[in-house]
Amino acid sequence: MAEITAPRGVKDVLPGESWKWAYVLDQFRTLAEGFGFSEVHLPIFEHTELFCRGIGDTTDVVEKEMYTFEDRAGRSLTLRPEATASMVRSYLENRMASGPQPVKLWCAGPMFRYERPQKGRYRQFWQLDVEVLGSVNPLVDVEIIELSLELYRRLGMANLEVVVNSVGCPACRPAYRKALQDYLRPHLGELCGSCKSRFDRNPLRILDCKNETCKALTEGAPDVMDSLCDECRDHFAAVRKRLDLLGASTRIDKRLVRGLDYYTKTAYEVLSGDLGAQNAVCGGGRYDNLAESIGGPHVPGVGFASGIERIVLTMEQQGCSFGREPSTDVYVIAVDGAASDEAVKLLYALRRQGLRAEMDYQGRSVKAQLKTASQAAFACFLGSDEVARSVVAVKEMATGNQEELLFDGAAAAIRSKLARQEDRRP
């Protein structure tokens, strides 16, 4: 029988990498909580309708990338391709508008998109996600952007570029849409197939096309800034002013429209100079009409999502620190069979002290066990002689220093030694 492998586009995050993920997640959690955000756990699947109406029927995500299936009762469900629509759904369903505003939430977890798998692009990938709901204040846009930048600072990431734009609102976007169509109409025949079909349904998306001909054709396209209404222009100016004040260097990219229809006003991305084609580590912006498009009242919102795989790739490429890789604190060795009961007792005494303690379960030779122990901070040896005298021999692997400790209390003493060793660590 053929061995079963994982589906295309998914990946196992194995112990050699999972500790790096844990570090990124820890940093993100600490930071988000520090900025006043609270964690929510959202479902992995939702009614398909939520994404069709929330993200937009004519977006790539909804048209081509969703994992949609029928459950046993014939309902159409979809594995979430992103978290924002779910977050807003949850805000509405749980009546969060009735409490103090804005509501600041974060979540982290896997997202699913049927894409062509390649480096930095998977069919199941993780996003760190933050959303602020219930405020139109441009300071909230700034808070979101700053939170992402502070995360990358703390992670030690460099060579990043922050691009911002305003995509307008329902009051001013129709005029821009028309200006763009008028500009592109003479070149309609030269656009790629996808853009031809975008021309009527979603012309702004043409600005985001990766096709070289389309890119060249949109080079001289009308500037969205010229079409913004007063409200959108003021909002964008206020966001930029405060970002400048905080020293965040941003570049305006008038072609930045983002792939999801719900954006209004601020749109932004953080690009990594070390990722090649899949260079966006983070994308976000304001979405003041999302709640209405999924059947709720008007609730303004702004947020970002950042892909963990791309963060970790960038950090690896840049030699960033992930903290310390977990390793064994104490390796317990029973040098003869007579000491095996005492060795087990010591193993669990060490674990009760919170230490990462291990022993051999495979009947390997003492020599082989010593080799494993060389990776640990301490090794403990127990033989019939030590058992008879109620002691344990403890060796500090870094220095080779060995001493005997009384068996009772040995675990606590080793914990203190380890703490002292960590204090000395650079």
Give yes or no for residue 163 binding ligand ATP (CB under 6 A).
no
Give yes or no for residue 122 binding ligand ATP (CB under 6 A).
yes
Q: For residues 181 and 279, which CB has a smaller minimum distance to ligand ATP in the complex?
A: 279
From residue 67 to residue 96, the character string flagging contacts with ligand ATP as x (rule: CB under 6 A) and all else as - is: ---------------x--------------
Minimal distance in Å, beta carbon 355 to ligand ATP? 37
Q: How far apart are the C-alpha atoms of 158 and 78, rounded to whole Å?
A: 36
AA identity, residue 370 = L
Range in contact with ligand ATP (rule: CB under 6 A) among 41-49, 96-104, 142-150, 279-287 = 279-287
Minimal distance in Å, beta carbon 65 to ligand ATP? 8
Among 53, 80, 113, 265, binds ligand ATP (CB under 6 A): 113
Minimal distance in Å, beta carbon 281 to ligand ATP? 5
Q: What are φ and ψ of residue 12, in 5° steps? A: -85, 135
Among 281, 346, 377, 414, binds ligand ATP (CB under 6 A): 281
**DSSP-assigned letters across all residues of 98-144:** GSSS-EEEEEEEEEE-----BTTB-SEEEEEEEEEES---HHHHHHH
Range in contact with ligand ATP (rule: CB under 6 A) among 37-45, 88-96, 214-222, 280-288 = 280-288
Give yes or no for residue 109 binding ligand ATP (CB under 6 A).
no
From residue 230 to residue 259, the character string flagging contacts with ligand ATP as x (rule: CB under 6 A) and all else as - is: -----------------------------x
Minimal distance in Å, beta carbon 261 to ligand ATP? 12
From residue 290 to residue 309, the character string flagging contacts with ligand ATP as x (rule: CB under 6 A) and all else as - is: ---------------xxx-x
Q: What is the CA radius of gyration of the chain?
A: 28
Q: How far apart are the C-alpha atoms of 161 and 228, rounded to whole Å?
A: 24
Q: What are φ and ψ of residue 134, in 5° steps? A: 100, 15
Q: For residues 168 and 283, which CB has a smaller minimum distance to ligand ATP in the complex?
A: 283
Tell whether omega for the bond before 102 is within 30 degrees of 0, i.e. cis: yes
The string over 188-209, giving b where at least 16 C-beta atoms fall within 10 Å of a residue's C-beta and e elsewhere, is eeebbebbeebbeebbbbbbbb
Give yes or no for residue 51 binding ligand ATP (CB under 6 A).
no
Measured from each CB, the residue nearest to ligand ATP is 307
Q: For residues 259 and 296, which CB has a smaller minimum distance to ligand ATP in the complex?
A: 259
Q: Are 127 and 109 in contact (CB under 8 A)?
A: yes
Give yes or no for residue 283 binding ligand ATP (CB under 6 A).
yes
Among 13, 175, 280, 412, binds ligand ATP (CB under 6 A): 280
Give yes or no for residue 314 binding ligand ATP (CB under 6 A).
no
> Could you give the C-alpha distances from 380 to 91, 139, 340, 404, in angstroms and in order?
54, 57, 12, 9
Q: How far apart are the C-alpha atoms of 356 and 132, rounded to whole Å?
A: 39
For tokens 């990722």, the residue is 275
DSSP H/E element including 297:
none
DSSP H/E element including 316:
helix 308-317
Q: What residues form DSSP beta bridges with 378? A: 330, 396
Q: For residues 121 and 351, which CB has a smaller minimum distance to ligand ATP in the complex?
A: 121
- Residue 43 has a CB neighbour count (10 Å cut-off) of 12
For tokens 């260079």, the residue is 279
Q: Are 172 and 165 in contact (CB under 8 A)?
A: no
Minimal distance in Å, beta carbon 148 to ligand ATP? 10
Give yes or no for residue 157 binding ligand ATP (CB under 6 A).
no
Range in contact with ligand ATP (rule: CB under 6 A) among 18-26, 28-36, 42-50, 113-121 = 113-121
Minimal distance in Å, beta carbon 49 to ligand ATP? 19
Q: Mapped to the 3 state alphabet, what secondary structure does 15-54 carry?
A: HHHHHHHHHHHHHHHHHHHHCCCEECCCCCEEEHHHHHHH
Minimal distance in Å, beta carbon 408 to ligand ATP? 53
**Contact positions vs ligand ATP (CB under 6 A):** 82, 113, 115, 120-122, 125, 127, 259, 278, 280-283, 305-307, 309-310
